[in-house]
A and B are shown apart, each in its own frame.
Chain A
Amino acid sequence: MRIVVSIKQVPETTEVKIDPAKNSVDTEGLTRIINPYDTYALEEAVRIKEASGATVAVISVGPEKVDESLREALAMGADEGFHLSDPAFEGSDPLATAYILARGIEKLGPYDLVICGRQAMDGASGQVGPSLAEELGLPCVTFVRKIEELKEGYIRVQRMTDDGYEVVEGPLPMVITVVKEINEPRLASLKGLMKAKRVTIPVWNASDLGLDPARYGPAGSPTSVARLSPPPPRTGGEMIEGTPEEQVRILVRKLRDAKVL
């Protein structure tokens, strides 16, 4: 069995500044990490490998720096890394990113299962997983919180829904996206990091992947960001003083006046 984990490199914090001149988010100088949700995806793949002997490939679309995150993933237990990188990929929206990823995954050869995080911490579109499935022509199960059974050509999982979960089954290959509840990711070991340094990670650009120029970068992205703005600041900030009894009485009166009780 071969499992592909799709990881995105993101800034380690969401406390970011907007650069109005460039109409972009200024992430210069911020430490970059593997998207936290993708560490659950990776951990799940490595656990399957440890339990039943699969190989785990990690793949990512992004600039040069992404190499570090791919190596960290190798140190967590992945076997192979693939880096899809081209200056022309910049400005790709989730649809275009899914297209690039799909062609990369097809190029790396036969596989059984693709695991994505439920969403990226920065853009938070939660779109790439299901879109990738469509591009690969595969079924998809989102918000997986547990893999109940996995064998040649078959998977059964628990999928989180809005009011509980459902048990679903389907054929492999398939794309799944995972939620935090699925496991507790390990940290990369120092020894693993040393070993990962020596692995060759192929870097494929648009022509290596044979991409249609009309389908990536700004030209291949149906959506664009017209404007970025900070959220409206919260007003208020009234401290209620007095004994606990008084505080509670004042609060309830205020809530009643606001007609919310």
Chain B
Amino acid sequence: MIGKADARNIWILIEHRGGKVAGVSLEAIGVARKLADSSSQEVWAVALGPGAQALGADLIKVGADVVLTAEDARLDGFRDDPYTDALTHLVTTYKPSALIVGATSNGKSLAPRLASRLRTGLASECVDLEWDAAAGNLVAVRPMYGGNVLATVVCPEVRPQLATLRVKSAPRPEPDPARKGRVEKADISGVELRDRVKVLEAVETGGGEVKLEEADIVVSGGRGVGGPEKFSVIKALAEACRGAMGASRAAVDAGWLPYAHQVGQTGKTVSPKVYIACGISGAIQHLAGMKSSDIIVAINKNPEAPIFKVATYGIVGDLFEVVPLLTEEIKEASA
């Protein structure tokens, strides 16, 4: 176990593929910058696997002081086994005070295993991270009970303090070409990396579409849409806004859209700049997945629908009339 007195610096695990860094990793660097500045620590971006080295300059521009790389072919593509072994080695060598991982499907698999290996604490799916200078602790805020309760979690004694950061819960830092930093190469060729689970094939569904969790605008349809072919109305609006398409569970359960589109307690959590709910009543379980959107627009023919209680802007009307008009108006506005 790593004690508090020995540990320093805020680490971010960089998720990358094909030379591209995941958005949430950049968002995490922005968060780490703020934590590090308020506690005189450094931000270390940790990039593993082939292609890590090439990311160095860009990671420094967005806020890393140090980019720690381990270009090991055994770390090509995410698997929690070898990543846990490699990170355990690096963490025990360099002793960071905190390690932040994006709450992606990969990050959420890795972080708990790593926490158990290191016997340290993990705060999952955090929406806010601060540094308590007096106590020398990371203060992690995470939603529980479908977003109805915000818990402030601390890990006062053991290091590193682990957290996964929810996608889009912090802004992406602007690159600053003048920023300076250094790249440090770690040699892990002597470290044994286990690899028990093999990825045979990766399938991208809905290729080309904007990812639901990363979209700035999400247009969702519910039971009010009334059928699979009628979702073309929702899709047209989503495309006009260059946004992603979501759905309520009622629409998913009816088989109108695949589960990957479901927003809510048992689906995805999104927090776009604008969430447009069409023919969705606003059940608590749906709200759990979209309540933290900056602006919520509700289009519903029932003025009593609970969605209007959380909507920034409400339009009472038939979605089949309002949505196509809205699509046209937006196309014109952005022409």
Give the CA-CA distance A19 to B240 in the complex, in Å.
46
Tell whether, in the assembled complex, residue A244 and residue B119 are in contact, meaning their CB atoms are under 8 Å apart. no
CB distance from A237 to the nearest CB of B (A): 7
Interface positions, chain A 153-199, Cβ under 8 Å from B, are: 156, 159-171, 174, 179-181
How many residues of chain B are within 8 Å of chain A by beta carbon? 89
Tell whether, in the assembled complex, residue B312 and residue A236 are in contact, meaning their CB atoms are under 8 Å apart. yes
Interface positions, chain B 284-333, Cβ under 8 Å from A, are: 284-285, 288, 291-292, 294-297, 308-317, 321-322, 325-326, 329-330, 333
Q: Which residues of A contact B27 (CB under 8 A)?
A: none
Give the CA-CA distance A258 to B121 in the complex, in Å.
40
The 0/1 profile, CB within 8 Å of B marked 1, for residues 102-125 of chain A is: 000000000000000000011111
Give the number of A-B contacts (CB < 8 Å): 250
CB distance from A99 to the nearest CB of B (A): 8
A6 at the interface (CB under 8 A from B): no
Interface positions, chain B 89-145, Cβ under 8 Å from A, are: 104-106, 108-113, 115-117, 119-125, 139, 143-145
Contact of B144 among A95, A124, A258 (CB under 8 A): A124
CB distance from B299 to the nearest CB of A (A): 9
Give the CA-CA distance A15 to B158 in the complex, in Å.
33
Contact of A260 among B198, B216, B321 (CB under 8 A): B216
B259 at the interface (CB under 8 A from A): yes
Q: Nearest chain-B residue to A156 (Cβ)?
A: B200
> For chain A, which range describes its interface: under 10, 10 to 19, 20 to 34, or 35 or more residues?
35 or more
Q: Which residues of A contact B7 (CB under 8 A)?
A: none
Tell whether, in the assembled complex, residue B113 and residue A134 are in contact, meaning their CB atoms are under 8 Å apart. yes
CB distance from A236 to the nearest CB of B (A): 4
Tell whether, in the assembled complex, residue B122 and residue A123 are in contact, meaning their CB atoms are under 8 Å apart. no
Tell whether, in the assembled complex, residue A223 and residue B291 are in contact, meaning their CB atoms are under 8 Å apart. no
A88 at the interface (CB under 8 A from B): no
CB distance from A24 to the nearest CB of B (A): 10
Give the CA-CA distance A125 to B106 in the complex, in Å.
15
Tell whether, in the assembled complex, residue B313 and residue A121 are in contact, meaning their CB atoms are under 8 Å apart. no
Contact of A224 among B106, B153, B198, B321 (CB under 8 A): B153
Tell whether, in the assembled complex, residue B200 and residue A124 are in contact, meaning their CB atoms are under 8 Å apart. no
Give the CA-CA distance A93 to B144 in the complex, in Å.
14
Which secondary structure dominates where chain B touches chain A? mixed
Are A171 and B196 also in contact (CB < 8 A) when A164-B205, A226-B153, A236-B311 are? yes
Q: Which residues of A contact B316 (CB under 8 A)?
A: 239
Which secondary structure dominates where chain A touches chain B? mixed
CB distance from A249 to the nearest CB of B (A): 6
Q: Which residues of B contact A227 (CB under 8 A)?
A: 151-152
Q: Which residues of A contact B109 (CB under 8 A)?
A: 130, 140, 142-143
Are A238 and B314 also in contact (CB < 8 A) when A168-B200, A226-B152 are? yes
Give the CA-CA distance A134 to B120 in the complex, in Å.
13
Contact of A167 among B108, B199, B312 (CB under 8 A): B199
Tell whether, in the assembled complex, residue A127 and residue B154 are in contact, meaning their CB atoms are under 8 Å apart. no
B81 at the interface (CB under 8 A from A): yes
CB distance from A160 to the nearest CB of B (A): 6
Contact of B313 among A16, A98, A240 (CB under 8 A): A240
Contact of A95 among B121, B148, B325 (CB under 8 A): B121
B211 at the interface (CB under 8 A from A): yes
Tell whether, in the assembled complex, residue B151 and residue A225 are in contact, meaning their CB atoms are under 8 Å apart. yes
B202 at the interface (CB under 8 A from A): yes
CB distance from A259 to the nearest CB of B (A): 9
Give the CA-CA distance A256 to B201 in the complex, in Å.
43
A200 at the interface (CB under 8 A from B): no
CB distance from A173 to the nearest CB of B (A): 11
Tell whether, in the assembled complex, residue B149 and residue A121 are in contact, meaning their CB atoms are under 8 Å apart. no
Tell whether, in the assembled complex, residue A139 and residue B274 are in contact, meaning their CB atoms are under 8 Å apart. no
CB distance from B172 to the nearest CB of A (A): 16
Tell whether, in the assembled complex, residue A252 and residue B333 are in contact, meaning their CB atoms are under 8 Å apart. yes
Q: Which residues of B contact A163 (CB under 8 A)?
A: 204-206, 211
Tell whether, in the assembled complex, residue A228 and residue B115 are in contact, meaning their CB atoms are under 8 Å apart. no
A211 at the interface (CB under 8 A from B): no
Interface positions, chain A 199-258, Cβ under 8 Å from B, are: 221-231, 234, 236-240, 244-245, 247-249, 251-252, 254-256, 258
Q: Nearest chain-B residue to A143 (Cβ)?
A: B105
Tell whether, in the assembled complex, residue A251 and residue B297 are in contact, meaning their CB atoms are under 8 Å apart. yes
Tell whether, in the assembled complex, residue B265 and residue A121 are in contact, meaning their CB atoms are under 8 Å apart. yes
What 3 A-B pairs are tightest by C-beta distance, nearest first? A222-B121, A223-B121, A14-B146
For the A-B complex with A94-B112, A141-B197, A223-B121 known, give 13 more contacts whose Cβ atoms are closer than 8 Å. A15-B284, A126-B125, A130-B109, A131-B115, A167-B201, A169-B198, A180-B259, A221-B121, A223-B123, A226-B152, A226-B153, A239-B315, A261-B333
Q: List 24 contacting pairs A-B, 8 Å CB cutoff, sorted by A.
A: A15-B284, A124-B144, A125-B112, A126-B108, A126-B124, A130-B80, A130-B112, A139-B197, A159-B105, A161-B105, A164-B205, A166-B199, A167-B200, A169-B200, A222-B157, A223-B154, A229-B152, A231-B291, A234-B310, A238-B313, A240-B313, A244-B317, A248-B326, A255-B274
